[in-house]
Structure 1
Amino acid sequence: MISYQVRAFGEPLARAQTPTPAPEGGQVLLRVLAAGVCHTDIHTWEGSYDLGGDKRLRMQQRGVTLPLTLGHEIVGEVVATGPDVPEHVRSGQRYLVYPWIGCGECKVCRRGRENLCAAPRFLGIFRPGGYSDHVVAPHARYLVDIGDLRPEQAAPYACSGLTTYSAIRKIPQDVLAEESVVVIGAGGLGLMCVTLLRALGCGNVVMVEPDGARRGAALAAGAHAAVDAGAPDAAAQVRQAAGAVWAVIDCVGAASTVQRGMDLLTKGGQLILVGLFGGELSLSPALVPMRAISIEGAYIGNLDELKALMALVRDRKPRAIPTTCRCLDGAQSALADLAAGRVVGRLILGPDADPSSRAVPATLEQASPPCN
């Protein structure tokens, strides 16, 4: 088995060749067909999150140990199963792997909210992930049907799709149906947010993004307006396009974008944070109740939400975000390009990808070239 591992935080990924594991009990071994490259991978590779004021949250503090194979947006093909796996899971079937696995024993996990477990065992963070030619799913229940989606289309739904879907579901249905939603940041997360907002019935999505190419991608994904975050009158442009701002989803999570989101909200508005860029900001507590605003975090999502999301994708066929496929041995350059802001949409690692291929599809039927 070939994997690309973090051996030391901040150092180039190391190629590792190890025996391909044999699944035991309820485990399923899958050949990796597509693995998305996410900003969480960058934080994990670098070894910390920025908390502002020269404070860092170190990966060791979270329980991350090395060596580690990154990658949590995974689609794979079943190649072997443990003796306790149900018969309906057979070799050759393709699945999206739910990566946000908990301990399975605590009351949070028993409630079906493994993503909030205090002792997480997430794929690609606490156990080997998808920057490999094979991955082990610890139980068949974590395998989610992708229907007729290509692997590179389906993979991002495990993180960017699930995270934004969970965030959108926090918005009251009447607000979603009757008001505009402002999305800050048109990276892979933000573009996914736009497509799912449209699929869930939002009539007016306004993107705020400094990069021109990404603003164009947001419009192609279904945004009704895309405002240059660096424009002197950006706030006025947003309000002109959106009217009263009742909901903002911040897909960046930097101090400046959080402040911008709070400033945009009308009385009674809602700011949902999903990005993890970091930093710190000052907050006047008195203004929160006086303005009746709410500030809420959305941390990935649970297994039932991923199943509901994939059912939504099959039913309503939202526009696919741009994807670029690269070979697995391009994992390090993919991380570097994402960290440097040179990516529009999602980079996908696959076994036989064409590194030069890129597509900006309008629908699920117009997908980028396959990674395999």
Structure 2
Amino acid sequence: MRAWAVVAAKQPLQEIELPTPEPTGKQVLLEVTHAGVCHSDIHIWEGEWDLGSRGKMRLTDRGVKLPLAMGHEVVGRVVKWGPEAEGKGLAVGQTRIVFPWVGCGVCARCRAEEDNMCVQGKALGVFQNGGYATHILVPEPRHLVDPGDLDPALAATYACSGITVFSAINKVMPMDPDAPIVLIGAGGLGLQSIAVLKAMGHRNIVSVDVSAEKREAALDAGAAKVVDGGGEGVTARIIEACGGPVDAIIDLVNGSQTARVAFDALNKGGRLVQVGLFGGEFAVPLPVMAMRALTVQGSYVGNPKELRALVKLAQGGRLPAIPVTREPLRNADSALQRLIAGKVTGRIVLTAEGV
């Protein structure tokens, strides 16, 4: 198979030949048709994460091996499967969304379909080759979801940005549909969050971003209000836009600065859900946490049950589409560089030849 792979940290992706995997056991081999380019791919390409005072976490120290075909937002066509996948409803040529956040497959979390919480995570596109390739090997049929009537390019984004925001939003629900929910960041995750909230019937969505272009995109997507996230006074602007301190904030950037801004805007009993992986750290005043009964909660992607629920929500056009720009798979490196430069609104989705 061909792959557009990371061969060294921070170096251009290279087109290389790799052996096409032969599925065994429960494994399913798919031909990749669509692969989203996600902000997390930037960190994988860079080879490290910023952990603030704890320094850098290098992915090679966590078991990531190069060369690696990234890409964890994948739709493909079923090609073949191992003997233990017989009788699981598979057919050659089926189009399926790939759930990428796989674990060991045998622990209690994996058996409960909470694969993303497995401590031995083996995510596709991170620890195993992903969608920046002509083929992808999926551990078992339950990691495949029928997109139904969805545009496959849009459906690919649901495997990461979709279930990531769906899972995060569910951590602050239920809420009055007219109570403000603040979203920090109006990139791919931010626009996907607006779409999911609107599909859930929520009306008071406040989007925060440093980019005027992205704030305009948030309004176009259905945000009730937008807030300039640049410079001083961001917390005060959020509180003013919401008519007071906020009960629910989802930080899709989650850097040191945005975390502080969000924390300071919380109402008594408020909840901050941290999603993004921008990097850094922030200190919280511990008496304030108790006296104001605040909750700061991390949210890591989502699980197969959430992907199936999200796809069901999206059927029939009930989930507004985010902007999607299609690029040939061979343009993986230039697409990634555009994302690094902050020149992407919505999502770039790479497509196979002839798609």
SS in 1 for 2:85: coil
Q: What is the TM-score with the length of structure 2 in the denominator?
A: 0.95
- Following TM superposition, by how much is the alpha carbon of 1:201 offset from its aligned partner in structure 2, in angstroms? 2.3
Instruction: Kindly indicate whether the alpha-carbon contact (under 8 Å) linking 1:186 and 1:208 is maintained by their aligned counterparts in 2.
Output: yes
1:99-138, Cα deviation, whole Å (9 max, x unpaired):
0111012222223211011111110011110000111112
Quote the residue 2:121 is aligned against. Answer: 120
**How do 1:263-278 residues align onto structure 2 when only pairs under 5 Å count?**
263-278=264-279
1:324-353, Cα deviation, whole Å (9 max, x unpaired):
111111111111111111111101111138
Quote the residue 1:302 is aligned against. Answer: 303
Give the total of aligned pairs: 353
Quote the residue 1:261 is aligned against. Answer: 262
Instruction: Kindly indicate whether the alpha-carbon contact (under 8 Å) linking 1:186 and 1:207 is maintained by their aligned counterparts in 2.
Output: yes
1:59 equivalent to 2:64? Answer no
1:203-235, Cα deviation, whole Å (9 max, x unpaired):
200000111111111111111111111265544
SS in 2 for 1:216: helix
1:228-251, Cα deviation, whole Å (9 max, x unpaired):
112655444433332231100000
Quote the residue 2:79 is aligned against. Answer: 79
SS in 1 for 2:25: coil
**How do 1:6-45 residues align onto structure 2 when only pairs under 5 Å count?**
6-45=6-45
SS in 1 for 2:103: coil
Instruction: Kindly indicate whether the alpha-carbon contact (under 8 Å) linking 1:3 and 1:15 is maintained by their aligned counterparts in 2.
Output: yes
Structure 2 spans left out of the alignment, 5+ residues: none
Cα distance in structure 2, aligned partners of 1:191 and 1:328: 23
SS in 2 for 1:76: strand
Which one-letter code corresponds to 2:109 in the other structure?
V
Quote the residue 1:281 is aligned against. Answer: 282
**How do 1:1-372 residues align onto structure 2 when only pairs under 5 Å count?**
1-53=1-53, 55-87=55-87, 88-173=89-174, 175-230=175-230, 232=232, 234-244=234-244, 245-314=246-315, 317-352=318-353, 372=355
- Following TM superposition, by how much is the alpha carbon of 1:80 offset from its aligned partner in structure 2, in angstroms? 2.0
Which one-letter code corresponds to 1:113 in the other structure?
E
Aligned-residue Cα RMSD (Å) equals 1.6
- Following TM superposition, by how much is the alpha carbon of 1:176 offset from its aligned partner in structure 2, in angstroms? 4.6
Cα distance in structure 2, aligned partners of 1:54 and 1:111: 33
SS in 1 for 2:193: helix
Instruction: Kindly indicate whether the alpha-carbon contact (under 8 Å) linking 1:180 and 1:202 is maintained by their aligned counterparts in 2.
Output: no
Cα distance in structure 2, aligned partners of 1:151 and 1:105: 30
Cα distance in structure 2, aligned partners of 1:118 and 1:159: 19
Cα distance in structure 2, aligned partners of 1:48 and 1:235: 30
Cα distance in structure 2, aligned partners of 1:138 and 1:195: 30
Cα distance in structure 2, aligned partners of 1:101 and 1:205: 32
Structure 1 spans left out of the alignment, 5+ residues: 354-371
Which one-letter code corresponds to 2:31 in the other structure?
R
SS in 2 for 1:60: helix
- Following TM superposition, by how much is the alpha carbon of 1:73 offset from its aligned partner in structure 2, in angstroms? 0.4
- Following TM superposition, by how much is the alpha carbon of 1:84 offset from its aligned partner in structure 2, in angstroms? 2.9
Instruction: Kindly indicate whether the alpha-carbon contact (under 8 Å) linking 1:27 and 1:137 is maintained by their aligned counterparts in 2.
Output: yes
1:136-162, Cα deviation, whole Å (9 max, x unpaired):
112111110101112111011001110
Instruction: Kindly indicate whether the alpha-carbon contact (under 8 Å) linking 1:208 and 1:227 is maintained by their aligned counterparts in 2.
Output: yes
Cα distance in structure 1, aligned partners of 2:69 and 2:307: 23
- Following TM superposition, by how much is the alpha carbon of 1:282 offset from its aligned partner in structure 2, in angstroms? 2.6
Instruction: Kindly indicate whether the alpha-carbon contact (under 8 Å) linking 1:69 and 1:131 is maintained by their aligned counterparts in 2.
Output: yes
Cα distance in structure 1, aligned partners of 2:178 and 2:206: 14
SS in 2 for 1:267: strand
Which one-letter code corresponds to 1:2 in the other structure?
R
Residues 15 and 176 of structure 1: CA distance in aligned 2, closer, same or farther (over 3 Å): farther
Cα distance in structure 2, aligned partners of 1:296 and 1:282: 14
SS in 1 for 2:62: coil
Which one-letter code corresponds to 1:84 in the other structure?
E
Cα distance in structure 2, aligned partners of 1:21 and 1:209: 42
Cα distance in structure 2, aligned partners of 1:142 and 1:5: 23
Instruction: Kindly indicate whether the alpha-carbon contact (under 8 Å) linking 2:268 and 2:294 is maintained by their aligned counterparts in 1.
Output: yes
Which one-letter code corresponds to 1:349 in the other structure?
L
Quote the residue 1:364 is aligned against. Answer: none
- Following TM superposition, by how much is the alpha carbon of 1:316 offset from its aligned partner in structure 2, in angstroms? 6.2
Cα distance in structure 2, aligned partners of 1:86 and 1:241: 55
Instruction: Kindly indicate whether the alpha-carbon contact (under 8 Å) linking 2:177 and 2:204 is maintained by their aligned counterparts in 1.
Output: no
Residues 271 and 316 of structure 1: CA distance in aligned 2, closer, same or farther (over 3 Å): farther
Which one-letter code corresponds to 1:168 in the other structure?
I
The 4+ residue runs of structure 1 with deviation greater than 3 A are 231-237
Cα distance in structure 2, aligned partners of 1:145 and 1:5: 27
Cα distance in structure 1, aligned partners of 2:235 and 2:263: 11
Which one-letter code corresponds to 2:62 in the other structure?
R
Quote the residue 1:357 is aligned against. Answer: none
- Following TM superposition, by how much is the alpha carbon of 1:54 offset from its aligned partner in structure 2, in angstroms? 7.2
Percent of aligned pairs sharing the same letter: 46
Cα distance in structure 1, aligned partners of 2:96 and 2:241: 40
Cα distance in structure 1, aligned partners of 2:288 and 2:317: 40
SS in 2 for 1:349: strand
- Following TM superposition, by how much is the alpha carbon of 1:56 offset from its aligned partner in structure 2, in angstroms? 0.7
Cα distance in structure 2, aligned partners of 1:205 and 1:316: 20
